[in-house]
Amino acid sequence: MPPRLIVLAALAVFAISSLGLALWIHRRSRRRQLAIGRVLDAADALEERLRVARSELESVASDAENPVLGALHQLLRQRLWLQEHAQSASLQTLQRVQDALETARGRIDAQLREIDRARAEAGE
């Protein structure tokens, strides 16, 4: 095999390998950005539900009895953690954070339904 052909073949293998590596890095980065976006969306949804819950609870309980304030503080801690660690966290960790936020929102939704039901029963 002529030396020129060997060099061209080696360059072709290098170019294909480099392209494959760049594509892999891009996909990994894209998955991370999508995961971070989903976590932030879940945090936004939870924050909105917490604000609704806070206003609902303020109408029936004092601030000392309002558990939403603690949840809002916890959400703030989650957001600060994301700001500092989202780029280095594993995708599994980001998924766990997202799941925890969605679970918390589900609990708040259930409590809000309970308040609505209690109000409906009291109004009958």
What is the pTM assigned to this prediction?
0.66
Name the pLDDT band for 9 (thresholds 50, 70, 90). Answer: confident
Q: What is the DSSP string of 48-100?
A: HHHHHHHHHHHTTS-GGG-THHHHHHHHHHHHHHHHHHTTTS-HHHHHHHHHH
Q: Give the model confidence (pLDDT) of 54-88 as tens digits.
A: 887 777 665 556 677 778 888 888 889 888 998 89
Q: Where are the domains of the chain?
A: 32-123
The pLDDT score that the predictor gives to residue 66 is 65
Q: Give the model confidence (pLDDT) of 35-49 as tens digits.
A: 999 999 999 998 888
Number of helical (H) and strand (E) elements in the chain, helices listed first: 3, 0
**Residue that wins the pLDDT comparison between 112 and 124:** 112
The pLDDT score that the predictor gives to residue 44 is 92
The pLDDT score that the predictor gives to residue 63 is 55
C-alpha triplet 84, 66, 64: angle, nearest 5°: 105
Q: Which residue has the tokens 């966290």?
A: 89
The full length of the chain comes to: 124
